[in-house]
Amino acid sequence: KSGRSGLFFGLPTQATSNGIFPRIALWLEGLSRDMGEKRSLRLVHGKAFLNDFYTGLIKASNMDEDGEEGGRESFVVNQWFSGKKVAIMDDFVVGTVDQLLMMALKQKHLALRHLGLSKKVVVIDEVHAYDAYMDQYLNMALEWLGAYNVPVILLSATLPKKSRADFIDHYLMGKGRRMGRDEKNKLMADDYPLITYTDGNEAFNVKDFEPIKDKTVEIKYADSKELSELLDKLLDGGGNVGIIVNTVKKAQSIAGLLTEKFTDAHAMLLHSSFIATDRVKKEERLMECLGKTGNRPEKMIVVGTQVIEQSLDIDFDVMISDIAPVDLLIQRLGRLHRHERDNRPDKHKKPVLYVLGNSESLDFEEGSKAVYGGYLLSRTGYFLGDSIKLPGDISGLVQRVYDDKLVLDLPEELRGKYEEYKAKYESLIKNKKDRAGTYRLDSPILKKGIVKQPNLIGWLNNNSKITNEEGGNSQVRDTQDTIEVVALKRIGDGYTTFDGKTDISKHIENGNTAKKILSSTIKLPNMLSKCYNIDKTIKELEDFYINNLRKWDDSVWLKGSLCAMFDEEGRCSINGVDMEYNEKYGLIVKGDKDGQV
């Protein structure tokens, strides 16, 4: 309808991008056959080259039926667009949302990104997952997309209505008009499902849908100290239990308890501090056990962090979760009784969520406060209640928690603590917005003015030192700097991957060996990438490379890659931080107080 030549589908993480990519490929294959011509497809994120499905397409698109060059696939992976600066210009692109957000970031070669996105339909999934910092870039990207008349679809089940109205407003601003207060108020609907859309310069809501049968989830509250007794009760008679907590440290601690006590149940730990290859194996095993067509065990306990909230199509009989902002709790509930089953244990026929750490006195666990702050935890706990109807209660509950004009009726002795939480939250939001403006592109100039000219001259002028895509990625996400390394283990005089048993140090010229090494990545603990010690950490890793891994310079895959070398017992020390890695618990940091997400 719009005459666009392609699609950009953006998601929050590499994992969710990898998850949707095969579905887009299947759809595009049918589209290409119907149109009678090949379409170009690309997966764009930092580890796309390690995605087996994608690399298989690259090979297949260049082979014919007899395995010779010049294939006749329904779509092709065009090698011309393999460079970082031009990847976004390919016709059909799936990737992380950063690729879109960088459209609003002042950096070199920005015109190529605008050119690539201006010809596409843009779809952004899980749009609620972005914080106030990222929203500043998304708002500005929407203005430019509006100016280019690009069709944009934003998807979310738990988006606050103010954010929804702001997104619409910025898109219309790109078309040359701004909504008035009354117009925005008309969009502030609590209905679910709901479609909000623009037609020309106007915005409308669609609320009339066939009723959806609600699923009522009972909500019970428990203390983390009572977890062992609670699991005893829940597993009596069988069941598959999901436990989602807010920090890696707590997840590892719970997993240790499970190993000692629940020997008759399958137990698994999943969080962000696993080597990438181990994490993939664990996710595959989870899908085999708890996926829609999985072979469900009689008893299973899965302990995880926020990585379980998205991308995994798994189904628990009962769920236990740390208190978290309401939209994230609802995302977690999406893994509770996800699929219709007739063979659930009798005591788990009805879905139940047990919430840990909610506090009437607003005294939340330090780890949860460090991740989410006390303000949203307080409001979530206040409004959550004893049950929630899905999807009927989703919008109303989210809107109440995020409506700062809705005052909580708290006892006098708690108001001071709540106001302190609120002040910290508002200060954090303001700080994020202010910092985002430093590198953010200005609004498009839609008509000639006395001062402003309708051209792009000087559109990148600022004090930013960003000159590459890696720098851009670090600016559109307001996160602490992180260091990702290859994790290897000593074996004799050489080294191997943690899932390997033979020395591979003398075979790095082999492309498959090099890719195996490069796929064994892990993120170092946050305590090693603070502003006061990150340079020292990187210097230590670089010195190790120079002294021990100079042969990597001869590998196009490995050249310049930082490496954490663990001893044969799985121990390593970097910049004074002692760590240990094993396949069961992941990366364990000695002396870590609260852990990390």
Q: pLDDT above 90 covers what percent of the chain?
A: 58
In degrees rounded to 5, what are phi and psi of residue 354? -100, 125
What residues does 226 pair with on adjacent strands? none
Closest CA to 150 of 3, 26, 370, 331: 3
Three-state SS at 284: helix
Q: What does the DSSP assignment read for 254-265?
A: HHHHHHHH-TTS
Q: What are the start-end ranges of the H helices in 271-316? A: 276-290
Smallest Cα–Cα separation from 439: which of 161, 79, 160, 140? 140
Q: Which of 11-15, 138-142, 205-209, 491-495 has the lowest mean pLDDT?
A: 11-15
Phi, then psi, of 220 in degrees rounded to 5: -120, 160
pLDDT band at 407 (very low <50, low <70, confident <90, very high): very high
Q: What is the CA radius of gyration of the chain?
A: 25
pLDDT of residue 264 exceeding 80, the answer is no
Give the mean model confidence (pLDDT) for residues 301-320. 90
Percent of the chain with pLDDT over 70: 88
| Contacts of 538 by beta carbon, 8 Å cutoff, 6+ apart | 483, 562
Question: What are 413-431's pLDDT values in tens digits?
Answer: 999 999 999 999 999 888 8
Strand order from edge to edge, sheet including 577-582: 571-574, 577-582, 586-589
Mean pLDDT (whole number) for 502-509:
93
Would you give the distance in Å from CA 87 to the centre of its chain?
21
Instruction: Give yes or no for a contact between 243 and 301, defined as CB atoms under 8 angstroms apart.
Output: yes
Predicted confidence at residue 471, as pLDDT, reads 44
For 59, the 3-state DSSP assignment is helix
Task: Give the chain's end-to-end CA distance (angstroms, integer).
Answer: 43
Closest by CA to 184, choosing from 197, 211, 203, 198, is: 203
Taking Cα atoms as reference points, which of 351, 427, 361, 418 lies closest to residue 389? 351
Given pLDDT bands bounded at 50, 70 and 90, which one contains residue 351?
very high
**DSSP letter for each residue of 447-509:** S--SS--SS-TTTT-SS----SHHHHHHHHS------EEEEEEEETTEEE-TT--S--TT-TT
Reference 23, options 313, 391, 333; nearest CA is 313
The HSE-up count of residue 470 (CA atoms within 13 Å, CB side) is 6
Residue bearing tokens 């469900």: 296
The size of the chain, in residues, is 597
Q: Residue 554 and residue 576: Cα distance in Å, rounded?
A: 31
pLDDT of residue 38: 78
Checking if the pLDDT of 468 tops 50, the result is no
- pLDDT of 473 strictly over 80: no
473 vs 450: CA distance, rounded Å = 35
- pLDDT at position 128 is 85
Rounded mean pLDDT of 292-304?
92
Backbone CA torsion sign across 237, 242, 246, 249: positive
Q: Nearest-CA neighbor of 55 among 88, 85, 82?
A: 82
User: Residue type for 124, please?
Assistant: I
- Which pLDDT belongs to residue 457? 61
- Spatial neighbors of 474 by CB under 8 A, at least 6 apart, are 481
Q: What is the pLDDT of residue 260?
A: 81
Q: Locate 343 and state its tokens.
A: 């063979």
Backbone angles phi, psi at 535, to 5 degrees: -65, -40
Q: What's the confidence (pLDDT) of residue 195?
A: 96
Given a contact cutoff of 8 angstroms between Cβ atoms, the answer to whether 323 and 368 are in contact is yes
pLDDT band at 474 (very low <50, low <70, confident <90, very high): very low
Structure-token pair, residue 156: 């979310």
What is residue 63's predicted lDDT score, i.e. its pLDDT?
45
Look at the alpha carbons of 285, 256, 370, 564 in this order and tell me if their dihedral is positive or negative. Answer: negative
How does residue 576 score in pLDDT terms, banded at 50, 70 and 90? very high
Mean pLDDT of the chain: 87
pLDDT of residue 211: 86
Are 247 and 371 in contact, with CB atoms under 8 Å apart? Answer: yes
Q: What is the largest CA-CA distance in the chain?
A: 78
The answer to whether 586 touches 252, Cβ cutoff 8 Å, is yes
DSSP 62-84: TB-TTS-BS---SEE--GGG-ST
Q: Which of 299, 305, 260, 258 is nearest to 282 (CA)?
A: 305
- Which pLDDT belongs to residue 400? 94
Give the global pTM. Answer: 0.86
Q: Name the DSSP class of 532.
A: T
How does residue 393 score in pLDDT terms, banded at 50, 70 and 90? very high
pLDDT band (50, 70, 90) for residue 454: low
For 168-178, what is the mean pLDDT? 93
Token code pair at residue 474: 């670090």
Interval 38-67: pLDDT, tens: 788 889 887 777 777 877 777 666 544 444
Pairing of strands 352-356, 215-222: parallel
- Range among 83-87, 109-113, 180-184, 353-357 rated most confident: 353-357
| DSSP conformation class of 583 | T
Chain centroid offset of residue 198 CA: 28
Q: What is the mean pLDDT of residues 26-46?
A: 84
Q: What is the rounded average pLDDT of the residues 307-319?
A: 88
Q: What is the pLDDT of residue 449?
A: 60
CB 358 within 8 A of CB 221: yes
Give the torsion sign (CA, 446, 448, 449, 452).
positive
Q: pLDDT tens across 69-88, in order? A: 444 455 555 555 555 667 78
Please report, for residues 373, 523, 539, 587, 592, the alpha-carbon distance to residue 529 in angstroms, rounded to integers and kept in the order given. Answer: 21, 10, 12, 16, 14
Least confident range from 43-57, 253-267, 393-407, 422-436: namely 43-57
Pairing of strands 39-44, 75-76: parallel
